[in-house]
Amino acid sequence: MRIRSFLQHDLARLTELTIETFGPFYEDSFRPLVGELVFANQHGAWREDYVEQVAELHDPDQHRYVAVAELDGTIAGYVAWSVEPARKNGSITILAVSAKHRQRGMGAMLCEHAFSTMRGLGAEVVVISTGGDGFHAPARALYETLGCTQLPVAVYYREL
């Protein structure tokens, strides 16, 4: 596996990978949990949202970065992060690994790569957010193995 910096020609594959990775959460977990009205209001355009979001992830002038994991010349995962130099904070924005490459340590290697780069840019603290539902359980387990401390948070939705 090789971890390298984002190149503009990676954009289509990263967008596709993001949609593949998080589609099951939105369609199979979030939608049934909150119902159609809340789903439509909060994340009804999740695919289109990712098309926009992924395109804006890498912008070093704004302290936003993306690293790509390649395996046999194919993109197998990526991590996006940002740094706030004045506050000495970093934040993982997205971590996505293709389904066939999960549970092989790629997510941990991508996070450690991002952490190392953040430290080099002066960050002293990093935040990573994920869901508390079953879909996100592997992410929580990964972050705990990386030494992260979970902050319990509750988010509630209700139709009006």
pTM of the model: 0.93
pLDDT at 153: 87
Number of neighbouring beta carbons within 10 Å of residue 62: 10
Q: Read off the pLDDT of residues 3-41 as tens digits, 9 standing for 90 and up.
A: 999 999 999 999 999 999 999 999 999 999 999 999 999
Residue 113 has, within 13 A of its CA and on its CB side, a CA count of 22
| pLDDT greater than 90 at residue 57 | yes
Of 91, 83, 87, the residue nearest 121 (C-alpha): 83
Q: Which residues pair with 67 in a beta bridge?
A: 5, 79
SS3 assignment, position 59: strand
The domains of the chain, with CATH numbers, are 2-145 (3.40.630.30)
Q: Can you tell me which residue has the tokens 């009006």? A: 160
